Protein backbone atom coordinates (compact mmCIF):
# COMPACT_ATOMS: atom_id res chain seq x y z
CA UNK A 1 0.00 0.00 0.00
CA UNK A 2 1.48 3.36 -0.93
CA UNK A 3 1.42 6.27 1.46
CA UNK A 4 1.28 9.97 0.80
CA UNK A 5 4.05 11.75 2.69
CA UNK A 6 5.24 15.33 2.94
CA UNK A 7 8.58 16.40 4.41
CA UNK A 8 8.54 20.12 5.20
CA UNK A 9 12.28 20.64 4.71
CA UNK A 10 15.43 19.06 3.39
CA UNK A 11 16.97 17.07 6.23
CA UNK A 12 20.32 15.22 6.20
CA UNK A 13 20.54 12.43 3.63
CA UNK A 14 20.29 9.39 5.96
CA UNK A 15 16.76 10.51 6.88
CA UNK A 16 15.66 11.29 3.34
CA UNK A 17 16.94 7.86 2.27
CA UNK A 18 14.86 6.04 4.89
CA UNK A 19 11.73 7.99 3.90
CA UNK A 20 12.28 7.43 0.17
CA UNK A 21 13.05 3.71 0.61
CA UNK A 22 9.66 3.23 2.21
CA UNK A 23 7.79 5.82 0.25
CA UNK A 24 9.47 6.64 -3.09
CA UNK A 25 6.89 9.32 -3.94
CA UNK A 26 7.41 11.28 -0.74
CA UNK A 27 7.54 14.99 -1.50
CA UNK A 28 10.25 17.10 0.13
CA UNK A 29 10.13 20.90 0.31
CA UNK A 30 13.54 21.76 -1.07
CA UNK A 31 13.80 25.53 -0.57
CA UNK A 32 16.35 26.56 2.04
CA UNK A 33 13.90 28.65 4.03
CA UNK A 34 11.16 28.27 6.65
CA UNK A 35 8.19 26.71 4.87
CA UNK A 36 5.68 29.46 4.00
CA UNK A 37 2.45 28.70 5.86
CA UNK A 38 0.07 29.12 2.89
CA UNK A 39 2.07 26.75 0.74
CA UNK A 40 2.39 24.31 3.65
CA UNK A 41 -1.37 24.17 4.09
CA UNK A 42 -1.69 23.42 0.38
CA UNK A 43 1.00 20.74 0.36
CA UNK A 44 -0.14 18.75 3.39
CA UNK A 45 -3.68 18.10 2.15
CA UNK A 46 -4.51 14.40 2.01
CA UNK A 47 -1.17 13.17 3.43
CA UNK A 48 -0.86 10.07 5.63
CA UNK A 49 2.29 11.34 7.29
CA UNK A 50 4.15 14.62 7.62
CA UNK A 51 7.73 15.12 8.78
CA UNK A 52 7.88 18.58 10.36
CA UNK A 53 10.41 21.03 11.76
CA UNK A 54 10.14 22.99 15.00
CA UNK A 55 9.35 26.04 12.84
CA UNK A 56 6.11 24.49 11.52
CA UNK A 57 3.06 25.19 13.69
CA UNK A 58 1.21 21.89 13.83
CA UNK A 59 -2.09 23.09 15.20
CA UNK A 60 -5.78 22.33 14.71
CA UNK A 61 -5.83 24.18 11.40
CA UNK A 62 -2.88 22.06 10.20
CA UNK A 63 -4.56 18.79 11.20
CA UNK A 64 -7.95 19.83 9.78
CA UNK A 65 -6.25 20.70 6.51
CA UNK A 66 -4.39 17.41 6.22
CA UNK A 67 -7.57 15.45 6.78
CA UNK A 68 -8.76 12.51 8.88
CA UNK A 69 -6.43 9.97 7.22
CA UNK A 70 -3.37 11.59 8.88
CA UNK A 71 -1.60 8.88 10.91
CA UNK A 72 1.71 10.33 11.97
CA UNK A 73 3.49 13.61 12.60
CA UNK A 74 7.21 13.21 13.03
CA UNK A 75 9.06 16.23 14.39
CA UNK A 76 12.71 16.69 13.49
CA UNK A 77 13.54 17.93 17.02
CA UNK A 78 13.43 16.76 20.59
CA UNK A 79 11.21 19.72 21.53
CA UNK A 80 7.63 19.59 20.28
CA UNK A 81 6.09 22.81 21.59
CA UNK A 82 5.23 23.60 17.95
CA UNK A 83 2.73 20.70 17.98
CA UNK A 84 -0.69 20.62 19.62
CA UNK A 85 -0.10 17.14 21.01
CA UNK A 86 -3.41 17.03 22.86
CA UNK A 87 -5.26 17.65 19.61
CA UNK A 88 -3.17 15.03 17.80
CA UNK A 89 -3.88 12.49 20.54
CA UNK A 90 -7.61 13.20 20.38
CA UNK A 91 -7.42 12.39 16.68
CA UNK A 92 -5.30 9.25 17.27
CA UNK A 93 -2.39 10.74 15.35
CA UNK A 94 0.97 9.53 16.68
CA UNK A 95 3.65 12.16 17.25
CA UNK A 96 7.38 11.36 17.17
CA UNK A 97 10.46 13.32 18.28
CA UNK A 98 14.24 12.85 18.43
CA UNK A 99 15.43 12.62 22.06
CA UNK A 100 18.87 11.56 23.27
CA UNK A 101 21.01 11.98 20.18
CA UNK A 102 21.31 15.75 20.61
CA UNK A 103 21.98 15.76 24.35
CA UNK A 104 25.77 16.14 24.09
CA UNK A 105 25.76 18.54 21.16
CA UNK A 106 23.31 20.79 22.97
CA UNK A 107 25.09 20.75 26.32
CA UNK A 108 28.43 21.30 24.52
CA UNK A 109 26.90 24.40 22.94
CA UNK A 110 25.60 25.62 26.27
CA UNK A 111 29.19 25.41 27.52
CA UNK A 112 30.43 27.20 24.40
CA UNK A 113 27.99 30.03 25.09
CA UNK A 114 28.93 30.10 28.76
CA UNK A 115 32.62 30.43 27.89
CA UNK A 116 32.12 32.87 25.01
CA UNK A 117 30.01 35.10 27.20
CA UNK A 118 32.12 35.02 30.35
CA UNK A 119 35.42 35.32 28.46
CA UNK A 120 34.04 37.76 25.91
CA UNK A 121 35.14 35.69 22.87
CA UNK A 122 32.72 37.20 20.32
CA UNK A 123 33.39 40.77 21.39
CA UNK A 124 37.17 40.37 21.41
CA UNK A 125 37.18 38.50 18.09
CA UNK A 126 35.40 41.47 16.50
CA UNK A 127 37.91 43.83 18.13
CA UNK A 128 40.90 41.86 16.84
CA UNK A 129 39.54 41.59 13.29
CA UNK A 130 38.88 45.34 13.30
CA UNK A 131 42.64 45.88 13.75
CA UNK A 132 42.17 47.35 17.23
CA UNK A 133 44.65 45.05 19.01
CA UNK A 134 47.69 47.23 19.54
CA UNK A 135 49.39 45.12 22.24
CA UNK A 136 48.78 43.39 25.55
CA UNK A 137 47.03 45.56 28.14
CA UNK A 138 46.40 44.82 31.83
CA UNK A 139 42.68 45.51 31.61
CA UNK A 140 41.83 44.45 28.06
CA UNK A 141 38.56 42.43 27.94
CA UNK A 142 38.36 41.42 31.57
CA UNK A 143 35.73 38.73 32.04
CA UNK A 144 34.25 36.42 34.63
CA UNK A 145 35.91 33.43 36.31
CA UNK A 146 34.45 29.99 35.64
CA UNK A 147 36.53 27.45 37.56
CA UNK A 148 35.30 26.93 41.10
CA UNK A 149 32.17 29.07 40.62
CA UNK A 150 28.52 28.04 41.04
CA UNK A 151 26.53 26.66 38.14
CA UNK A 152 22.72 26.77 38.38
CA UNK A 153 20.82 24.38 36.12
CA UNK A 154 17.17 25.14 35.41
CA UNK A 155 15.63 21.87 34.22
CA UNK A 156 17.69 18.83 35.19
CA UNK A 157 16.51 16.48 32.45
CA UNK A 158 18.79 14.85 29.89
CA UNK A 159 20.42 18.03 28.56
CA UNK A 160 20.54 19.94 31.86
CA UNK A 161 22.14 16.94 33.57
CA UNK A 162 24.65 16.58 30.74
CA UNK A 163 25.60 20.25 31.13
CA UNK A 164 26.02 19.71 34.87
CA UNK A 165 28.17 16.56 34.45
CA UNK A 166 30.58 18.45 32.21
CA UNK A 167 31.27 20.95 35.03
CA UNK A 168 33.47 18.44 36.90
CA UNK A 169 36.67 19.60 35.21
CA UNK A 170 35.91 23.14 36.33
CA UNK A 171 35.34 22.10 39.95
CA UNK A 172 32.04 23.91 40.08
CA UNK A 173 29.39 23.79 42.76
CA UNK A 174 26.12 22.73 41.09
CA UNK A 175 22.62 23.80 42.08
CA UNK A 176 19.53 22.74 40.19
CA UNK A 177 15.88 23.63 39.98
CA UNK A 178 13.45 20.96 38.76
CA UNK A 179 10.21 19.38 39.89
CA UNK A 180 11.98 16.02 40.02
CA UNK A 181 15.07 14.97 41.89
CA UNK A 182 18.09 14.04 39.82
CA UNK A 183 19.81 11.40 41.95
CA UNK A 184 22.68 10.92 39.50
CA UNK A 185 23.59 14.61 39.65
CA UNK A 186 23.31 14.59 43.42
CA UNK A 187 25.41 11.46 43.86
CA UNK A 188 28.07 12.20 41.23
CA UNK A 189 28.43 15.94 41.64
CA UNK A 190 26.98 16.65 45.06
CA UNK A 191 24.47 18.82 43.21
CA UNK A 192 21.83 20.42 45.41
CA UNK A 193 18.14 20.75 44.46
CA UNK A 194 16.97 24.23 45.40
CA UNK A 195 14.04 26.52 44.68
CA UNK A 196 14.30 28.89 41.73
CA UNK A 197 14.92 32.02 43.80
CA UNK A 198 17.81 30.40 45.69
CA UNK A 199 19.34 29.19 42.43
CA UNK A 200 19.13 32.65 40.89
CA UNK A 201 20.58 34.38 43.96
CA UNK A 202 23.49 31.98 44.45
CA UNK A 203 24.59 31.04 40.92
CA UNK A 204 27.40 32.64 38.95
CA UNK A 205 26.11 30.93 35.80
CA UNK A 206 22.49 30.05 35.15
CA UNK A 207 21.85 27.62 32.31
CA UNK A 208 18.29 27.07 31.09
CA UNK A 209 17.23 23.58 29.93
CA UNK A 210 13.49 23.33 30.52
CA UNK A 211 10.87 22.39 27.99
CA UNK A 212 8.52 25.16 26.90
CA UNK A 213 4.95 24.83 28.11
CA UNK A 214 2.44 27.00 29.96
CA UNK A 215 4.31 26.51 33.24
CA UNK A 216 7.70 27.60 31.90
CA UNK A 217 6.77 30.49 29.57
CA UNK A 218 8.52 33.57 31.03
CA UNK A 219 9.80 31.49 33.94
CA UNK A 220 12.67 33.99 33.93
CA UNK A 221 11.28 37.52 33.90
CA UNK A 222 12.17 40.89 35.37
CA UNK A 223 11.74 39.70 38.98
CA UNK A 224 13.93 36.64 38.43
CA UNK A 225 16.65 38.51 36.52
CA UNK A 226 16.62 41.04 39.35
CA UNK A 227 17.58 38.29 41.79
CA UNK A 228 20.72 37.31 39.89
CA UNK A 229 24.13 38.58 40.97
CA UNK A 230 25.41 41.59 39.06
CA UNK A 231 28.41 39.42 38.12
CA UNK A 232 26.31 36.46 36.88
CA UNK A 233 25.62 35.16 33.38
CA UNK A 234 22.61 33.40 31.89
CA UNK A 235 22.70 30.87 29.06
CA UNK A 236 19.68 29.58 27.14
CA UNK A 237 19.75 26.64 24.72
CA UNK A 238 16.17 25.45 25.38
CA UNK A 239 13.37 27.62 24.02
CA UNK A 240 13.35 31.41 23.77
CA UNK A 241 10.01 32.12 25.48
CA UNK A 242 11.26 30.60 28.75
CA UNK A 243 13.00 33.96 29.24
CA UNK A 244 11.16 37.27 28.96
CA UNK A 245 13.52 38.63 26.31
CA UNK A 246 12.49 42.28 26.70
CA UNK A 247 13.27 42.07 30.43
CA UNK A 248 16.59 40.41 29.59
CA UNK A 249 17.52 43.24 27.20
CA UNK A 250 16.87 45.72 30.03
CA UNK A 251 19.02 43.70 32.44
CA UNK A 252 21.85 43.50 29.88
CA UNK A 253 21.62 47.20 29.01
CA UNK A 254 21.54 48.30 32.65
CA UNK A 255 24.25 45.74 33.49
CA UNK A 256 22.24 44.34 36.38
CA UNK A 257 23.63 41.00 35.19
CA UNK A 258 27.02 40.50 33.52
CA UNK A 259 25.96 38.81 30.31
CA UNK A 260 23.87 36.31 28.38
CA UNK A 261 24.61 33.54 25.91
CA UNK A 262 21.54 32.84 23.79
CA UNK A 263 20.89 30.26 21.11
CA UNK A 264 17.09 30.67 21.16
CA UNK A 265 14.78 33.68 21.08
CA UNK A 266 11.27 34.54 22.12
CA UNK A 267 10.01 35.42 18.62
CA UNK A 268 12.44 33.45 16.48
CA UNK A 269 13.90 34.46 14.08
CA UNK A 270 13.19 38.01 15.30
CA UNK A 271 15.18 39.44 18.20
CA UNK A 272 13.61 41.84 20.70
CA UNK A 273 14.61 45.48 20.12
CA UNK A 274 17.91 46.37 21.72
CA UNK A 275 19.31 42.84 21.97
CA UNK A 276 21.64 43.22 18.99
CA UNK A 277 23.22 46.28 20.56
CA UNK A 278 24.06 44.43 23.80
CA UNK A 279 27.79 43.73 23.60
CA UNK A 280 27.50 41.59 26.74
CA UNK A 281 25.38 39.02 24.88
CA UNK A 282 26.60 36.25 22.60
CA UNK A 283 23.89 35.40 20.08
CA UNK A 284 23.81 32.23 17.98
CA UNK A 285 21.04 31.19 15.55
CA UNK A 286 19.46 28.12 17.22
CA UNK A 287 22.34 25.82 16.33
CA UNK A 288 22.88 23.92 19.59
CA UNK A 289 22.21 20.54 17.96
CA UNK A 290 23.93 21.48 14.72
CA UNK A 291 26.77 18.99 14.46
CA UNK A 292 27.09 16.78 11.41
CA UNK A 293 26.72 13.57 13.43
CA UNK A 294 23.82 14.80 15.55
CA UNK A 295 21.73 16.20 12.73
CA UNK A 296 22.27 12.96 10.77
CA UNK A 297 21.03 10.85 13.70
CA UNK A 298 18.07 13.18 14.24
CA UNK A 299 17.17 12.70 10.57
CA UNK A 300 17.30 8.91 10.91
CA UNK A 301 15.18 8.98 14.05
CA UNK A 302 12.58 11.29 12.56
CA UNK A 303 12.40 9.16 9.42
CA UNK A 304 12.08 5.92 11.42
CA UNK A 305 9.31 7.44 13.53
CA UNK A 306 7.50 8.48 10.36
CA UNK A 307 7.80 5.08 8.70
CA UNK A 308 6.69 3.22 11.84
CA UNK A 309 3.64 5.48 12.14
CA UNK A 310 2.73 4.89 8.50
CA UNK A 311 2.98 1.13 9.00
CA UNK A 312 0.64 1.40 11.97
CA UNK A 313 3.48 0.42 14.32
CA UNK A 314 4.58 2.20 17.46
CA UNK A 315 7.17 4.88 16.53
CA UNK A 316 10.43 4.20 18.40
CA UNK A 317 10.30 7.70 19.91
CA UNK A 318 6.68 8.36 20.62
CA UNK A 319 5.54 11.51 22.39
CA UNK A 320 1.88 10.52 22.88
CA UNK A 321 1.45 6.81 23.68
CA UNK A 322 -2.18 7.64 24.59
CA UNK A 323 -2.87 8.01 20.87
CA UNK A 324 -2.52 4.22 20.61
CA UNK A 325 -5.13 3.47 23.31
C1 LIG B 1 15.31 20.52 19.38
O2 LIG B 1 15.58 19.40 18.92
O3 LIG B 1 14.30 20.71 20.05
C4 LIG B 1 16.29 21.62 19.14
O5 LIG B 1 15.82 22.85 19.51
C6 LIG B 1 16.79 21.64 17.72
O7 LIG B 1 17.58 20.53 17.57
For residues 297, 72, 80 and 88, what is the CA-based torsion angle, rounded to 10 degrees? Answer: -170
Q: Nearest CA to 14 among 311, 318, 300, 313?
A: 300
Task: Return d(Cα 115, Cα 287) in angstroms, integer.
Answer: 16
Span 215-253, pLDDT tens digits: 999 999 999 999 999 999 999 999 999 999 999 999 999
Closest Cα to atom 4, ligand 1: which residue? 77
Q: Where in the chain is the domain with CATH 3.40.50.720?
A: 5-101+292-324, 103-283
Q: Is the pTM of this model over 0.85?
A: yes
User: What is the 134 CA–ligand 1 centroid distance (Å)?
Assistant: 41
Ligand 1 atom with the shortest distance to the CA of 80: 3
Q: What is the end-to-end Cα distance of the chain in Å, rounded?
A: 24
105 lines ligand 1 (CB under 6 A): no
**Whether the CB of 159 sits within 6 Å of ligand 1:** no
Q: Say which of 3, 47, 120, 239 is annotated catalytic.
A: 239
**Distance between CA atoms of 293 and 108, rounded to whole angstroms?**
14
**Active-site choice (27, 250, 268, 322):** 268
Residue nearest to atom 1 of ligand 1 (CA): 77
32 pLDDT exceeds 90?
yes
Which percentage of the chain shows pLDDT scores above 70? 100
Does position 151 have pLDDT exceeding 80, yes or no? yes
Within 10 angstroms of residue 31's Cβ, the number of other Cβ atoms is 10
- What whole-number distance in Å separates Cα of residue 248 and Cα of residue 251? 5
d(CA 216, CA 242): 6
Q: Is residue 102 lining ligand 1, measured as CB closer than 6 Å?
A: yes
Looking only at Cα atoms, what is the longest distance across the chain? 72
289 in contact with ligand 1, CB cutoff 6 A:
yes
Facing residues of 49 across strands? 5, 72
Residue 313: its pLDDT value, please?
Answer: 97
| CATH no., domain 5-101+292-324 | 3.40.50.720
The sign of the dihedral angle between the CA atoms of 287, 289, 290, 295 is: negative
Task: Compute the distance from residue 289 Cα to the ligand 1 centre, in Å.
Answer: 6
CA distances from residue 7 to 76, 79, 324 in whole angstroms, order as listed: 10, 18, 23
- What's CA 5's distance to the chain center, in Å? 26
Residue of the CA atom closest to atom 2 of ligand 1: 77
Give the nearest ligand 1 atom to 294 CA: 7
pLDDT at 270 over 90: yes
For the domain 103-283, what is the CATH code? Answer: 3.40.50.720
Confidence grade of residue 2 (pLDDT, cut at 50, 70, 90) = confident
- The residue annotated as part of the active site, out of 217, 286, 314, 322, is 286
- Contact 2/25 with Cβ under 8 angstroms? yes
Query: 79 C-alpha to center of ligand 1: Å?
Result: 6
Residue range 283-316, pLDDT digits in tens: 999 999 999 999 999 999 999 999 999 999 999 9
The predicted pLDDT at position 230 comes to 98
Indicate if 268 belongs to the active site. yes
Helix (H), strand (E), coil (C) string for the chain:
CCCCEEECCCCCHHHHHHHHHHCCCCEECCCCCCCCHHHHHHHCCCCCEEEECCCCCECHHHHHHHCCCCCEEEECCCCCCCECHHHHHHCCCEEECCCCCCHHHHHHHHHHHHHHHHCCHHHHHHHHHCCCCCCCCCCCCCCCCCCCCEEEEECCCHHHHHHHHCCHHHCCEEEEECCCCCHHHHHHHCCEECCHHHHHHHCCEEEECCCCCCCCCCCECHHHHHHCCCCCEEEECCCHHHECHHHHHHHHHCCCCCEEEECCCCECCECCCCCCCCCCEEECCCCCCCCHHHHHHHHHHHHHHHHHHHHCCCCCCECCHHHHC
Q: Which of the listed residues 58, 76, 77, 107 should we mutate to test ligand 1's pocket, taking the one with most ligand atoms within 8 A of CB?
A: 77
Instruction: Write down how long the chain is.
Output: 325
Which of 317, 75, 80, 77 has the alpha carbon at shortest distance from 213?
80
CB of residue 7 inside a 6 A radius of ligand 1: no
Give the torsion through C-alpha atoms of 6, 66, 60, 74, to 10 deg.
Answer: -30
Q: Is residue 1 pLDDT above 80, yes or no?
A: no
Amino acid sequence: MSHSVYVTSIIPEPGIQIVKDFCPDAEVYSEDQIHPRDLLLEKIKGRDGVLTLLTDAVDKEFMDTVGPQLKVISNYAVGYNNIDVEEATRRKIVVGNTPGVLTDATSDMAWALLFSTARRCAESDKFTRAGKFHGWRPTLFLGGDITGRTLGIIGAGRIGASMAMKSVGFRMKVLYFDLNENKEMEETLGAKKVDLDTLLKESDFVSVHTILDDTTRHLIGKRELGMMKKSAYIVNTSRGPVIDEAALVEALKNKTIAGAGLDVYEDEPELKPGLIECENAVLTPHIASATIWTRGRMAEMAANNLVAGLKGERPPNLVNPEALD
